[in-house]
A and B are shown apart, each in its own frame.
Chain A
Amino acid sequence: QKEVEQNSGPLSVPEGAIASLNCTYSDRGSQSFFWYRQYSGKSPELIMSIYSNGDKEDGRFTAQLNKASQYVSLLIRDSQPSDSATYLCAVGRPGTASKLTFGTGTRLQVTL
């Protein structure tokens, strides 16, 4: 079992719809959770962080965390073609250098 699992996609949604991206993790000691967006050929860019159970909203993005179910998700409202990218889920726990464990990413395609 992978430590951080994501569906590789592609996830295809029409413009203006809500995109829902999911991630599960295996380490119950994890305390920090991040979503990165990565355009093709570019480096990952941090878009959301969440540390406690519940929802966290930032503009069109909402991150949701459920530690009991070891599940974190990212909702993108009013999806735009510019949201088409690969979204990486990353999970961290306290420790030396506070390493993160990354999922392999979900490719999102927003269609016109």
Chain B
Amino acid sequence: DVKVTQSSRYLVKRTGEKVFLECVQDMDHENMFWYRQDPGLGLRLIYFSYDVKMKEKGDIPEGYSVSREKKERFSLILESASTNQTSMYLCASSSAHGNIYNEQFFGPGTRLTVL
């Protein structure tokens, strides 16, 4: 069964803190994604990765960085958390690099609150 896990379901941090969100998938997928989801704005892509050590900016990369040192793990880093980064963060993965059969499977999400 497809499984994407995220390190925390809920997280509360202070402004200026460095925040790490971890995502692990056990499906040997090449592609991994980080989204944030806010009411009325839908899912917005922050960063994605199509291979180990490869990463590309999504639509809203400002204030974030990522790391992919192993195929199964994709980390999202908030270098200096700000209140406008309070959101639901969703990790997803997909297989079939370059193929049209690119359904994405999501982790349970991390609800981050920055105070």
Contacts and interface: CB of A to CB of B under 8 A. Distances in A.
Interface of A: 31-32, 34, 36, 42-46, 49, 51, 88, 90, 92-100, 102-105
Q: Which 3 A-B pairs have the closest CB atoms?
A: A98-B102, A104-B42, A97-B50
B90 A92 contact: no
Contacts of B48: 97, 99
Contacts of B100: 31-32, 51, 92-94, 98
B106 A100 contact: no
A45 B43 contact: no
B109 to A, nearest CB: 5
Say which size band chain B's interface belongs to: 20 to 34
8 contacts: A31-B100, A43-B109, A46-B103, A98-B96, A98-B102, A99-B102, A102-B42, A104-B41
B109 A42 contact: yes
Given A31-B100, A32-B102, A94-B98, A43 B107 contact: yes
